[in-house]
């Protein structure tokens, strides 16, 4: 088996979760209704995730008097990685009734909000939608979550459903599909938290934090550069003054001022603290600042600035 995608792992973890009976119904409602076709006489799901379809069949066989079998699944595509579940005629209608979905809402591709009054059920519904229609990028490569849906109304309803959780996705049209998407790592981790995949949620949170740290490091480096610039400007000013004394071989300066003047001339790139250490004996940074200031004052008196 080739290496599975990040999305695939998230979907797998969602399928393995135990759910209360209200949430089980909401989960499968989300899964079926976000598929290719969801109507009273025809339901069609295309997924790369065979385990989900198998679990759906188990769920229906266990909790309803409808009988589905693995022969309802067929394999599509040459790569044999897409599975199709088709339920037509009475089977489709029976399943919609079993899930208690309002048939009118099903036909209009509106989400039946009556089934999602409890928060636990909203979360499970969103998980079901993600398993059927979702894609999630590996956070080490980029931040992207999307739900590919083929009905505008359904896409809008999903956005409305997520808003109370602080998740406000955008919608774009791609071919014949409506794509509900999130690009913000914080919001993606919120979404993953809602659908109940905390470990993947942490991946995204960590990726977000790492990015923030990188940004902070860059900001810090920019700040250091700004400070460095200040040092260079200050040193350039000092050099101008010192060169005036140099013309007289520093005869106008006492020894301790001559020393720091010469050190500055020889080391224009050094900070004050570094310059202070080079003095004999070493002095403090403020001592060095004091001496350089004295040189400037003397220059003002002798040379008028
Ligand atoms: Zn529930």
Q: How far apart are CA 103 and CA 110, in angstroms?
A: 10
Tell how far the Cα of 196 is from the centroid of ligand 1, in angstroms: 13
List the one residue out of 3, 5, 41, 14 whose CA is nearest residue 199: 14
What CATH number has the domain spanning 6-196? 3.10.28.10
Q: What separation in Å is there between the alpha carbon of 50 and the centre of ligand 1?
A: 24
Q: Which of 100, 92, 161, 165 is nearest to 129 (CA)?
A: 161
For the chain, the average pLDDT equals 87
Of 3-7, 101-105, 166-170, 288-292, where does mean pLDDT reach its minimum? 3-7
For residue 112, name the pLDDT band (cuts at 50, 70, 90): very high
In angstroms, the CA 14 to CA 252 distance is 83
The Å distance, Cα 98 to ligand 1 centre, comes to 16
Distance 26 CA to ligand 1 centre (A): 7
Q: Where are the domains of the chain?
A: 6-196, 222-303
The pLDDT-based confidence of 1 (bands split at 50, 70, 90) is very low
Segment 125-137, tens digit of pLDDT: 999 999 999 999 9
* Ion ligand 1 — residues with CB < 5 Å: 22-23, 118, 120-121
Percentage above 90 pLDDT, the chain: 46
What distance in Å separates the CA atoms of residue 238 and residue 265, rounded to the nearest whole number?
9
Residue 211 has pLDDT above 70, yes or no: yes
pLDDT at 283 over 60: yes
Instruction: For residues 285 and 290, give the distance between their C-alpha atoms in angstroms, rounded to a whole number.
Output: 9
How far is the centre of ligand 1, averaged over its atoms, from the C-alpha of 119 (Å)? 7
In three-state secondary structure terms, 279 is: coil
- Ligand 1 midpoint to CA 122 (Å): 7
Task: With beta carbons less than 8 A apart as the criterion, state whether 180 and 145 touch.
Answer: no
CA angle 170/123/196 to nearest 5° reads 100
Asked whether the predicted pLDDT for residue 60 surpasses 70, the reply is yes
Q: What is the pLDDT of residue 108?
A: 83
The answer, yes or no, to whether residue 2 has pLDDT greater than 50, is no
pLDDT at 33 over 60: yes
How far is residue 191's CA from residue 177's CA, in Å, rounded to a whole number? 21
Q: Which DSSP string do the residues of 187-250 spell out, in sequence order?
A: HHHHHHHHTT-HHHHHHHHHHHHHHHHHHHHHHHHHHHHHHHHHHHHHHHHHHHHHHHHHTTTT
Q: 233-277, pLDDT tens digit by residue? A: 777 888 889 999 998 889 999 999 999 999 888 887 788 888 898
For the chain, the first-to-last Cα distance in angstroms comes to 80
The answer to whether residue 114 scores a pLDDT higher than 70 is yes
Q: pTM of this prediction?
A: 0.68
CB-based contact 110:153 (threshold 8 Å): yes
What pLDDT was estimated at residue 179? 95
Asked if residue 102 has pLDDT above 80, the reply is yes
The alpha carbon of 14 and the centre of ligand 1 are apart by a number of angstroms equal to: 15
Q: What is the pLDDT of residues 172-197, one digit of tens each?
A: 999 999 999 999 888 998 999 999 88
């Amino acid at each position: 088996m080739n290496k599975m995608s990040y999305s695939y792992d998230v979907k797998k973890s969602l399928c393995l979760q135990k759910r209360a009976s209200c949430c089980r119904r909401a989960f499968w409602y989300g899964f079926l209704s976000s598929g290719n076709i969801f109507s009273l006489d025809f339901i069609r799901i295309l997924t790369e995730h065979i385990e989900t379809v198998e679990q759906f069949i188990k769920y229906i066989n266990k909790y309803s008097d409808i009988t589905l079998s693995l022969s309802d699944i067929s394999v599509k595509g040459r790569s044999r990685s897409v599975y199709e579940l088709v339920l037509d005629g009475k089977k489709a209608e029976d399943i919609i009734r079993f899930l208690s979905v309002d048939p009118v809402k099903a036909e209009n591709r509106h989400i039946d909000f009556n089934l999602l009054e409890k928060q636990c059920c909203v979360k499970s519904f969103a998980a079901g939608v993600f398993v059927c229609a979702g894609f999630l990028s590996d956070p080490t490569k980029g931040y992207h979550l999307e739900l590919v849906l083929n009905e505008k109304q359904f896409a809008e309803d999903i956005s409305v459903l997520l808003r109370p959780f602080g998740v406000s996705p955008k919608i774009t049209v791609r071919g014949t599909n409506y794509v509900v998407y999130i690009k913000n790592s914080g919001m993606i981790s919120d979404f993953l938290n809602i659908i109940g995949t905390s470990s993947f949620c942490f991946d995204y949170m960590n990726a977000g934090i790492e990015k923030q740290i990188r940004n902070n490091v860059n900001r810090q480096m920019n700040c250091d550069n700004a400070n460095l610039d200040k040092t260079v400007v200050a040193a350039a000013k000092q050099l101008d003054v010192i060169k005036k004394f140099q013309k007289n071989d520093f005869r106008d300066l006492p020894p301790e001022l001559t020393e720091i003047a010469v050190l500055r001339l020889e080391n224009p790139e050094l900070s004050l603290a570094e310059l202070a250490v080079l003095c004999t004996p070493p002095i403090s940074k403020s001592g060095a600042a004091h001496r350089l200031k004295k040189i400037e004052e003397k220059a003002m008196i002798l040379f008028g600035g």
